[in-house]
Amino acid sequence: MGVYVRIVTEKINIEELIAKVESADHGAIDLFIGTVRNHHHGKDVLGITYDVHETLAEKLFKEICEEASGIWPDTDYAVIHYKGELPVSGISIVIAVSSPHRAESFEACRYVIEEIKRQAPVWKQEHYLDGKSDWLPGHSLRHEGKHTNTCCGQCCGGKHA
Amino acid sequence: MKIVIYHYGAFRKLGDRTDLDLPAPATIGEIRMSLIERWGESHQLLIEDSALANMTDILPDEFVIDDHCALSVLPPVCGG
C-alpha cells in the first residue's frame, strides 16, 4: 500500500499525482478533482481562499488513506490539497486511487474525499461578486457527532444539523 | 506560562496569533475560556465549536498544559 499526501501553494500537477499511484498490477485509477464553483447559496462566487493547517492536514490525509486501505486492500493513494487563493474553476484538491480492479478505486476515492471534507483542518473563504467575503461554516472537530452551535448542517447527513 | 495561539479560518480576522499569559498548569478547557474572555462573547459560539491542537494532535478539554507552548485554534472545517 502506498500513500502520498501534500499541501501545495502552486498549481496542482495531476500527471504527477497519477504517476504516484501507477502500478503494473493495478488495472484502475480513479481520480477526484475538486474545483471552485461560481455560485453558492444564490451568491455569485469569484474565488475561494483555502486556509490549511499543513502539518495536521497532511497527517490526517495519511491516516484517512491508511483507513481506506484497511477497508479496500491492495489500493494506492495520492492526495494533494491547495492552500491559497483560487479563481473559479481553479483546482483545490486532487485524489488518485489505484487498485487491481475498478470497483475498489471508485469506492475508496469516494471514502477519502468524504472523510477529508468531514475531518481535515481546511477552511474556505469565499469571495463574492459584490465585494464581500465569508468564511464558510463546517464540521466541528471538537463535537464529533454532536450538536454544535455553528454546524453547516450538511456535513454529517443531518446527524447534528 | 506563555501560550501562543495560532489562528485559522474565521479566526484570521483577529490576526494571525494571540498570546496568552496564564498560570501553570492549565487545561485546554481553561485555555478555551481565556480565549472567550480575550475575544469577547460575540465569538463564544465559534470558540465553543472550535478544537485546540498542537502540531500533531487535537487536544481534549481535560488535557493539561504545564509549560510554554504553541497551540492552534481550529474552527469547524470545510475542506475539499
Residues within 8 A of B (CB atoms), A 1-30 only: none
Predicted confidence band at A1 (pLDDT cuts at 50, 70, 90)? confident
DSSP string, B37-64: HHH-GGGHHHHHT-EEE-SS-EEPTT-E
Enter the C-alpha cell of residue A152: 453547516
Residue A152 is predicted with a pLDDT of 66
* Cell numbers that stand for A19 in this block: 504517476
Mutate to test the interface with B, among A140, A143, A152, A154 (most CBs of B within 10 A): A140
Give the number of other Cβ atoms within 10 Å of residue A129's Cβ: 11
| pLDDT tens for each residue of A27-73 | 999 999 999 999 999 999 999 999 999 999 999 999 999 999 999 99
DSSP string of A27-79, one letter each residue: -EEEEEEEE--SEETTEEEEEEEEEE-HHHHHHHHHHHHHHHHHHSSS-EEEE
Domains of chain A: 3-135 (3.90.1170.40)
Answer yes or no: are the C-beta atoms of A95 and A109 closer than 8 Å: yes
pLDDT band at A161 (very low <50, low <70, confident <90, very high): very low
Express each pLDDT in B34-80 by its tens digit. 999 999 999 999 999 999 999 999 999 999 999 999 999 999 999 88
Whole-number average pLDDT of chain A: 92
Interface of B with A (CB under 8 A): 8-10, 12-13, 45-46, 48-51, 53, 55-58, 72, 74-80
Look at residue A144 in the predicted model and tell me its pLDDT: 55
CATH 3.10.20.30 fits B2-74, yes or no: yes
CB B79 within 8 A of CB A117: yes
Predicted local confidence at residue A78, as pLDDT:
98
Q: Is the pLDDT of residue A145 over 60?
A: no
Domain boundary assignment for chain B: 2-74
Please enumerate in sequence order all residues whose Cβ is within 8 A of that of A145, keeping only pairs 6 or more positions apart, or say none.
A156, A159, A160
| pLDDT tens, residue by residue, A89-131 | 999 999 999 999 999 999 999 999 999 999 999 999 999 999 9
What is the spatial distance between Cα A96 and Cα A112, in angstroms, rounded to a whole number? 10
* CA gap B76, A115 in Å, rounded: 14
The x, y and z cell numbers of residue B49, run together, are 465549536
B contacts of A113 (beta carbons < 8 Å)? 80
